[in-house]
Structures are given as C-alpha cells and as structure tokens.
C-alpha cells in the first residue's frame, strides 16, 4: 500500500513537471510571437518610410527638372525679347546722328554733342544686348545637359539684325569732323569724360573710340557661342549659325571697304602735301 502511494505521488510530480514545461513552452512561444510581431511592425514602418523618402526624392527631382526646363525656356524667350529691341536701338542712334549732322551745320555745339551722346548710348545698349544673347546661349548649352527631356530649341533670327557697325562708323566720321573744328572739339574735351549709363563703357570718350571694335567683338563672341551650340545639335542650329555668319561677313566686308577708303584718303593727303594733284 505504501508503495502504491509513493507511485501515485511520483506520477503527480512527473505530470506537474510536464505541465510546467508545457506552460513554459507556451509562454516562450507567446513571447516569440510578440517579438516577431514587433519586428514585422518595425519592418513595415521602415518600408513605409523608405517609400515616402523615395516619393519625396522623385517629387524633388521632377520639380528640379521642371524648374530647369523653365529656366532654359527663359534663356530662349529672353534672347528673343532682346533681339526684337536691338533694331529699335539702331533706329534711335541713326536718328540721333541725323540730328547731330543738322546741329553741326547750324553750329549748335552743345546740342550736337547731346545727339552724339544719345547715339553712343543706344549703340552701347545694342552691344550689351548682343552680349546678353551670347551669355544666354552659353547658359542654355550648360543647363540643357542636365535636362532629361528634350529642351526647347534656341531659336532666334540673328540674320534680321541691322549692321550696327555701319552706324558706329558713321558716328565716328561725324565725331571726327567735329574734332577738326576748334569750337566743337573744345566742347568735346569738356564732355568726353561723361559717364554712359550702360554697362561696358566708362565714358563717352571710350564709347566713341571703341564702339565699332566692341560691337564686332561681341558679334564674333556670339558667333562662337552659336557655333558651339550648332556642334551639339546641327539640325536645330544650322539656320541660326548661318544668320550670325552672314552678319559677320557683312561687317568684315564693310571694315575692309572702310580700310581701303582710309588708305585712299591718306594717299590723297600725301599727294596734296607733296604738291601732286589727285588723279580724279
């Protein structure tokens, strides 16, 4: 009987231990499930955050591309606006030179130099406009490299521009004639240091002395920029390049004609000084 009781007690202990172990296994399993759920929640949060970051990045990049496209479009639009205004500046300069010739004939010293200064200012504005178009062409080439989509064409009609060097040469001849007159030249000496309110020229005297050269240099710089643009996109820039090249050729032809004329004038003066009569 005692042996049976001991067996029963032993069996109970075994059952209790097994139950305890099962209970512990359940607790452990619950904790593992809880931990797994926490990890899954963290992973989900990370994925959501990552997707949101990628979305924001895409939005920022698309906004940047849109801004870049608008900026490139602005270079083209700004260049066309400037281009339309350039012939107006030459018209005003030519009218001012007409006025200067009238004032010279009437011996109106101050009004003559006022008209010359107006012409010089308008030519300086023309020169500055050419430089702005050149800068826009350079910026266009640099920025379009960053654009994913097809950029707007740099479409401007340079061939419609008047040959401003003809106007600046005319101004130079008018001023030269006035400088040979003592009274006109006296007024000029007083006014040649007047500042022009245009970037690139420090004084009226500098503008009168350098205008033709400055305009030629600016047109040549624009031609080089357009040529670089054409090399990257031949089809869209071929016509543009031809327009600038035609303008340059006319300017160089005028310059050569002017040099020939000056040589003939100097030859005539030499003949007169030596007592020889000109052949015509």
Backbone angles phi, psi at 137, to 5 degrees: -65, -40
- Measured between alpha carbons, how far is residue 133 from residues 19, 86, 171 in Å? 91, 11, 24
Burial tier of 100 (Cβ tally within 10 Å: 0-12, 13-18, 19+): buried
Count structural domains, the chain.
Answer: 1
Within 10 A of 130 (CB to CB), how many other CB atoms are there? 23
Tell me how far apart the alpha carbons of residues 59 and 47 are, in angstroms, rounded to a whole number: 18
User: Nearest Cα to 219, choosing from 122, 131, 155, 151?
Assistant: 131
Is residue 29 in a domain?
A: no
* pLDDT beyond 60 at 74: yes
Segment holding 130, helix H or strand E: helix 109-144
Domain of 106 in residue numbering reads as 86-150+159-273
Going by the DSSP 8-state scheme, the letter that residue 267 receives in this structure is H
Confidence of residue 265 (pLDDT cuts 50, 70, 90): very low
pLDDT at 196: 80
Residue 31 counted as domain residue: no
At 49 the pLDDT is 80
Checking if the pLDDT of 236 tops 80, the result is no
Q: How many residues does the chain have?
A: 280
Q: Give the model's pLDDT for residue 279.
A: 41
Residue 184: what are its φ and ψ, rounded to 5°?
Answer: -65, -40
Give the CA distances from residue 86 to residues 82, 92, 110, 132, in Å, rounded to whole numbers and listed in that order. Answer: 6, 10, 27, 12
Does the residue 112 lie in any domain?
yes
- Between 25-39, 58-72, 184-198, 206-220, the lowest mean confidence (pLDDT) is in 25-39
Is residue 57 over pLDDT 70? yes
**Is pLDDT larger for residue 58 or for residue 255?**
58
The mean pLDDT value for 223-242 works out to 69
Within a domain: residue 267? Answer: yes
Q: Return the closest-CA partner of residue 129 out of 179, 176, 178, 88.
A: 88
Q: How far apart are CA 73 and CA 79, in angstroms?
A: 10
Does the structure show a pLDDT above 80 at 65?
Answer: yes
Q: What is the mean pLDDT of the chain?
A: 80
**Residue 263 scores a pLDDT above 60:** no
C-alpha 53: how far from its chain's center?
34
229 in a structural domain: yes
């Amino acid at each position: 009987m005692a042996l049976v009781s001991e067996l029963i007690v032993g069996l109970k202990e075994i059952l209790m231990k097994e139950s305890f172990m099962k209970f512990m296994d359940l607790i452990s399993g619950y904790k593992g499930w809880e931990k797994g759920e926490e990890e899954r929640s963290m992973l989900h949060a990370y994925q959501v955050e990552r997707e949101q970051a990628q979305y924001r990045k895409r939005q920022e990049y698309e906004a940047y591309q849109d801004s870049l496209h608008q900026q490139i479009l602005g270079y083209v639009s700004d260049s066309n606006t400037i281009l339309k205004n350039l012939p107006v500046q030459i018209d005003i300069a030519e009218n001012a030179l007409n006025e200067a010739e009238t004032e010279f004939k009437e011996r109106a010293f101050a009004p003559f130099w006022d008209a010359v200064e107006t012409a010089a200012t308008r030519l300086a504005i023309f020169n500055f406009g050419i430089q702005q178009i050149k800068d826009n062409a350079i910026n266009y080439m640099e920025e379009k490299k960053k654009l994913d989509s097809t950029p707007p064409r740099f479409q401007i009609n340079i061939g419609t521009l008047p040959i401003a060097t003809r106007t600046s040469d005319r101004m130079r001849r008018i001023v030269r004639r006035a400088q040979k007159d003592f009274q006109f030249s006296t007024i000029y000496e007083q006014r040649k240091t007047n500042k022009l309110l245009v970037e690139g020229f420090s004084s009226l005297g500098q503008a009168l002395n350098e205008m033709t050269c400055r305009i030629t240099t600016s047109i040549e710089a624009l031609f080089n920029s357009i040529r670089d643009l054409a090399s990257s996109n031949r089809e869209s820039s071929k016509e543009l390049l031809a327009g600038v090249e035609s303008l340059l050729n006319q300017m160089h032809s005028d310059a050569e004609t002017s040099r020939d004329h000056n040589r003939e004038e100097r030859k005539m003066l030499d003949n007169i000084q030596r007592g020889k009569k000109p052949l015509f």
